[in-house]
């Protein structure tokens, strides 16, 4: 009798792995179907109880506003006094909810900067005339490349820019 080493595995081991894989796939399908069922129940619950969910959200916002108002009243301050503070002078206060989907702007007119923004925040730079000409020529070349202007219009505009 001869023993072989390194030969193919017995066929029963391959069958066992195949059956195990089939059961695993079957279990994954059952989990997927159960997950979809749970999702549908939750989604149906959200749709069914949407008025209650909205009312709870509104009450939460109103309650936090009341607590803030009560805190301001306890300290003897009014919104007018807060906005008259030198920190807020000449600026508007913007309250944003839900990532900016809902916002309330208090303070100066539409030209006023919101809190946290300043005209000095971004330094203004003076562009030299050569840089300005180069930017114009780059824009002009882009228009020509995209066939938005003809070669004659390009040459005329280039001549005008370089003569300045």
Mean pLDDT to the nearest integer, 31-46: 84
Take residue 105 and report the two structure tokens written for it.
């702007």
In a domain, 110, yes or no: yes
Q: How confident is the model at residue 111 (pLDDT cuts 50, 70, 90)?
A: low
Instruction: Please give the pLDDT value at position 8.
Output: 56
Q: Residue 96 sits in which domain range?
A: 85-117
Q: How confident is the model at residue 21 (pLDDT cuts 50, 70, 90)?
A: confident
Instruction: Please give the pLDDT value at position 112.
Output: 52
Q: Both 134 and 112 in a single domain?
A: no
Whether the per-residue pLDDT at 9 is higher than 60: the answer is no
In a domain, 47, yes or no: no
In a domain, 74, yes or no: no
In a domain, 124, yes or no: no
Q: What is the pLDDT of residues 56-85, one digit of tens each?
A: 888 988 888 888 788 878 887 777 776 666
Buried b (16+ CB within 10 A) or exposed e, 10-19: eeeeeeeeee
In a domain, 112, yes or no: yes
In a domain, 154, yes or no: yes
Domain count, the chain: 2
**Residue 95, phi-psi category: left (phi > 0), alpha (psi -120 to 50), beta (remainder):** beta
Angle at 22 between CA 16 and CA 24, to 5 degrees: 100
In a domain, 143, yes or no: yes
Q: What is the pLDDT of residues 118-146, one digit of tens each?
A: 555 555 566 667 777 888 889 989 999 98
Instruction: Please give the pLDDT value at position 73.
Output: 81
Instruction: Name the percent of the chain lying above pLDDT 70.
Output: 64
- Assessment of whether the complete model's pTM goes beyond 0.85: no
Q: How confident is the model at residue 99 (pLDDT cuts 50, 70, 90)?
A: low
Whether the per-residue pLDDT at 10 is higher than 60: the answer is no
Whether the per-residue pLDDT at 32 is higher than 70: the answer is yes
Q: Both 133 and 113 in a single domain?
A: no
In a domain, 144, yes or no: yes
């Amino acid at each position: 009798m001869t023993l072989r080493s390194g030969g193919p595995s017995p066929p029963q081991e391959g069958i066992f792995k195949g059956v195990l894989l089939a059961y695993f796939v079957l279990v994954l399908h059952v989990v997927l179907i159960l997950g979809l069922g749970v999702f549908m129940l939750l989604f149906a619950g959200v749709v069914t109880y949407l008025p209650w969910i909205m009312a709870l959200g509104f009450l939460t916002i109103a309650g936090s506003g009341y607590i803030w108002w009560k805190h301001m009243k306890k300290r003897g301050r009014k919104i007018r006094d807060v906005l008259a503070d030198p920190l807020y002078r000449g600026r508007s206060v913007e309250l944003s909810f839900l990532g900016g989907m809902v916002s309330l702007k208090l303070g100066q007119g539409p030209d006023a900067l919101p809190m946290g923004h300043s005209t000095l925040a971004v330094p203004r730079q003076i562009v030299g005339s050569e840089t300005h000409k180069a930017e114009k020529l780059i824009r002009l070349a882009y228009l020509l490349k995209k066939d938005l202007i003809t070669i004659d219009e390009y040459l005329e505009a280039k001549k005008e820019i370089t003569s300045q």
